[in-house]
Amino acid sequence: MPKKIGSLTLFSIDDLHESLGLSKMTLRAYLRDGKLKGRKLGVQWFVTEDALREYFEESSPEEEAPKRITKTYLIQGVNDLVSESATCESVEETLEVLQEQAILSLFQVKIMNAETKEVLELLKARDFLERYQS
């Protein structure tokens, strides 16, 4: 049963466990991780009604629009014989550069996250052309 102190209502882990049907261990993990705001008084955690409201009103990551990844395209030779490389900002620009190459089998395209420089995909030049050419 929640504790009332003046206009403040405090819910213990036991109260939340009964009301929400979540395990006490899960509730404590939410409190420790900051997913649910609460205060520890002695050895017991307490959560206010406002903290519960805030938790349920927050949008979850699934509800948020996914962040669009900006990509860059790095064209480079696949062996020591070809030292050329070019960085392109769009698929169209990458296609133009690849179409200028005499021997496509000597090149590959790294599709990268422009912000983190993480390689998202590595394709042979011919495979890139097949995928993106209209």
Residue 84 lies in a domain: yes
Identify the domain containing residue 31 by its residue range. Answer: 3-57
- Cβ proximity of 98 and 124 under 8 Å: no
Q: Could you report the per-residue pLDDT of 76-119, keeping only the tens digit for each? A: 998 877 788 899 999 999 999 999 988 889 999 999 999 999 99
For the entire predicted model, the pTM comes to 0.50
Regarding whether 52 and 8 lie in a shared domain, the answer is yes
Regarding whether 113 and 77 lie in a shared domain, the answer is yes
Q: How far is 7 from 9, CA to CA, in rounded Å?
A: 7
Domains in the chain: how many in total? 2
pLDDT beyond 60 at 8: yes
Residue 41, sorted as left (phi over 0), alpha (psi -120 to 50) or beta, turns out to be: beta
Residue 64 lies in a domain: no
Residue 66 lies in a domain: no
User: pLDDT tier at 70 (50, 70, 90 boundaries)?
Assistant: very high
Mean residue pLDDT across the chain? 88
Residue 63 lies in a domain: no
Q: What sign for the dihedral angle of Cα 14, 15, 17, 18?
A: positive
pLDDT beyond 70 at 39: yes
Residue 65 lies in a domain: no
Regarding whether 80 and 42 lie in a shared domain, the answer is no
